[in-house]
Chains A and B, each alone.
Chain A
Amino acid sequence: AQSVTQLGSHVSVSEGALVLLRCNYSSSVPPYLFWYVQYPNQGLQLLLKYTTGATLVKGINGFEAEFKKSETSFHLTKPSAHMSDAAEYFCAVSDWRAAGNKLTFGGGTRVLVKP
């Protein structure tokens, strides 16, 4: 079975500082990988995804993530945090061998941005 671990349930960063959110997955084969963001009282919005090809993936709002197969990681970064980045972030995987749209999510990381 697949699993996703997000290190740190809460992260506090200063405005303008680097945002780094960690995600490690467990899977017998490299899965497809996703990062979602959830603002209060809203659903999830896709930031970026990795399926195949280039391992550095650029997403919306200045976020990017790098797939490292040897480390089974897919960490999310943003060079300069903005107040609007305060939200909860979820890493997710799907198994391309399985039929359908099932996503397995990590526990989430809540980001606080300090002025």
Chain B
Amino acid sequence: KAGVTQTPRYLIKTRGQQVTLSCSPISGHRSVSWYQQTPGQGLQFLFEYFSETQRNKGNFPGRFSGRQFSNSRSEMNVSTLELGDSALYLCASSLASGETYEQYFGPGTRLTVT
């Protein structure tokens, strides 16, 4: 079974632009979570989608948004990029939503904002 895939793997954007990252979960998984990883702040939870509905949201500004499609694929969007948005963005999928379900992480998208 294929793992979690994230596209693109690397991205360079300019301040003020917007960006869309994509995540394809493991086949059959219906929950997708997003995390931001930076050297300064570590790993921080962005949001979770389950059955096309946002289930949980972390403490990030409204510039960060996401959505999930009927096939469980998910996208996250960051508008008006800032230098501080440079990070590794990780997506994780699980069978369903709930703390006992194991989350499988993708390789991440490394976003650089210049």
Contacts and interface: CB of A to CB of B under 8 A. Distances in A.
Decide whether A and B assemble into one complex.
Answer: yes
Interface of A: 32, 36, 41-46, 49, 51, 90, 92, 94-96, 98-108
Contacts of A90: 43
14 contacts: A32-B100, A41-B107, A43-B4, A43-B106, A90-B43, A92-B43, A101-B48, A101-B55, A101-B92, A101-B94, A103-B35, A103-B45, A107-B42, A108-B43
A99 B33 CA distance: 13
Nearest to B43: A105
B101 interface: yes
Interface residues of B, number: 28
A30 to B, nearest CB: 12
A96 B99 contact: yes
Contacts of B102: 46, 49
B58 interface: yes
Interface of B: 4, 31, 33, 35, 42-45, 48, 50, 55-56, 58, 90, 92, 94, 97-108
Contact of B56 (A46, A49, A96, A100): A100
A100 B97 contact: yes
B95 to A, nearest CB: 10
Contacts of B101: 101
A98 to B, nearest CB: 8
A101 B105 contact: no
B22 to A, nearest CB: 15
Nearest to B103: A101
Nearest to B32: A101
A48 to B, nearest CB: 11
B42 A101 contact: no
Contact of B105 (A45, A98, A107): A45
Contacts of A99: 55-56, 97-98
Given A95-B99, A100-B48, A100-B56, 6 more contacts: A45-B105, A51-B99, A51-B100, A100-B31, A102-B58, A108-B42
A36 B33 CA distance: 16
Contacts of A32: 99-100
